Amino acid sequence: MSGAKTLAAPVPPGGTIGILGGGQLGRMLAQAAARLGLKSRVFCDNPASPAFQVCDAHTVGKFEDLHAVAAFAKACDVVTFEFENVPSATAEHLAEIVPVLPGAKALRLTQDRLDEKTFVRSLGLKTSPFEGVNTPEDAAAAFEKLGTMGVIKTRRLGYDGKGQAKVTSAANAAAAIRAFHHAPSILEGFVDFAFEASVVAARGADGSFAAFDPPENSHENHILRRSIVPGRLTAAQNAAAKHIAKRIGDTLGYVGVFAVELFVMKDGSLLVNEIAPRVHNSGHWTIEACAVSQFEQHIRAVAGWPLGDPARHADAVMENIIGEEAADWAKYARRPGALHLYGKAEIRAGRKMGHFTQLSPLTGR
């Protein structure tokens, strides 16, 4: 990509941060920008976007509409995004008009599970066994080679378990490729982990690095249910998780917040499952438990400001409020803790409607 704009100087208070995507992550980014005296402008295709309720200006448009995207970019000092599936043509077009952070490289890499896992492995970091598969025959052969239970995942556009199928036989693996309409995919070995964790970290424009303490995460129906910090990670595993994030961030020349999803193995080792080039659901507890949240940290990084202190001043349990659970908002409102509701127009099954963070005194680790 040629002619990509870079940030020549920090965006001063009063400047405008552009955010592609208007969901809850965009909403919390806009709220964090406001705290620093920065304005936010959100671009999204959904006229009822939660972020529109809290930003300074918004554009309703298709992410593929390069004219609309260009007009939006001209009103911003820097543009960032809240989701990784920004079309690459859009990101590249934008980058010729305004600095886009994190850059196109991180976006391109994390949009494709095969490229991402290959990159992670090239850094000497551990992953599940994996292989790219394009046809039902490939998938069957890869399954035979793997010789154990696996997961077929489409290389692109999967999230919250969409575009994923657990497979227990070669015939199963072949059928999964057919069910995904022959989308290029990967077969991964099924990992018998002890538990899941993640590390949310930031890299500044000056190469500085700051990681939040890694929470232990649990999922239900492929959706994050709960993040607990400190979880069961030992001090050595905390340090190892942060080191993994630093390797990844430095190698990519990344600017902004990103998350690395980890499998913690029974022997104590850490496997990298996935990189998210954005703020992450498992970092929502930082809003209350840290002086500078993941959202503020991301805004600081992309605006060229110094990173804030990621130290935790409390233990925290963050639980998502999913689908119909949001109808019980009054129950959450009575509980001691911090309630966040995202202002979504309607409740839908499996939809993240809000989250609740409970703090307790710091126990260490």
* Options 14-22, 69-77, 187-195, 250-258: segment touching ligand AMP (CB under 6 A): 187-195
Closer residue to ligand AMP in complex, CB, 42/275: 275
Site for ligand AMP in 138-167 (CB under 6 A): 151, 158, 161
* Binding of residue 190 to ligand AMP (CB under 6 A): yes
CA atoms within 13 A on the CB side of 144: 7
Closer residue to ligand AMP in complex, CB, 190/209: 190
**Residue type, position 48, single letter:** A
Closer residue to ligand AMP in complex, CB, 77/261: 261
* Binding of residue 222 to ligand AMP (CB under 6 A): yes
* Binding of residue 261 to ligand AMP (CB under 6 A): yes
Three-state secondary-structure class, residue 288: helix
Site for ligand AMP in 117-136 (CB under 6 A): 128
From the CB of 274, what's the least distance to ligand AMP, in Å? Answer: 4
Question: Environment class of residue 288 by beta-carbon count within 10 Å: exposed (0-12), middle (13-18) or buried (19+)?
Answer: middle
Closer residue to ligand AMP in complex, CB, 219/313: 219
* Binding of residue 276 to ligand AMP (CB under 6 A): no
From the CB of 108, what's the least distance to ligand AMP, in Å? Answer: 18
From the CB of 133, what's the least distance to ligand AMP, in Å? Answer: 14
From the CB of 162, what's the least distance to ligand AMP, in Å? Answer: 8
CB 320 within 8 A of CB 350: no
Task: Give the DSSP H or E segment for 295.
Answer: helix 294-302
Give the Cα separation of 129 and 150 in Å (integer): 9
Torsion of CA 83, 89, 90, 95, to 10 degrees: 100
Can you tell me which of 274, 296, 315, 319 binds ligand AMP, judged by CB under 6 A? 274
* Binding of residue 348 to ligand AMP (CB under 6 A): no
Give the Cα separation of 217 and 67 in Å (integer): 40
Closer residue to ligand AMP in complex, CB, 146/240: 146
Ramachandran area for residue 273 (φ above 0: left; ψ -120 to 50: alpha; else beta): alpha
* Binding of residue 188 to ligand AMP (CB under 6 A): yes
Beta strands in 92-178 (DSSP E): 130-133, 150-154, 164-167
Can you tell me which of 112, 196, 216, 315 binds ligand AMP, judged by CB under 6 A? 196
Q: What are phi and psi of 338, to 5 degrees?
A: -105, 120
CB 104 within 8 A of CB 129: no
Helix axes 136-146, 170-179, angle to 10 degrees: 140
From the CB of 261, what's the least distance to ligand AMP, in Å? Answer: 5
* Binding of residue 191 to ligand AMP (CB under 6 A): yes
Give the Cα separation of 243 and 237 in Å (integer): 10
* Binding of residue 30 to ligand AMP (CB under 6 A): no
Residue number, nearest CB to ligand AMP: 191
Binding residues for ligand AMP, rule: CB under 6 A, are 128, 151, 158, 161, 188, 190-191, 196, 219, 222, 261, 273-274
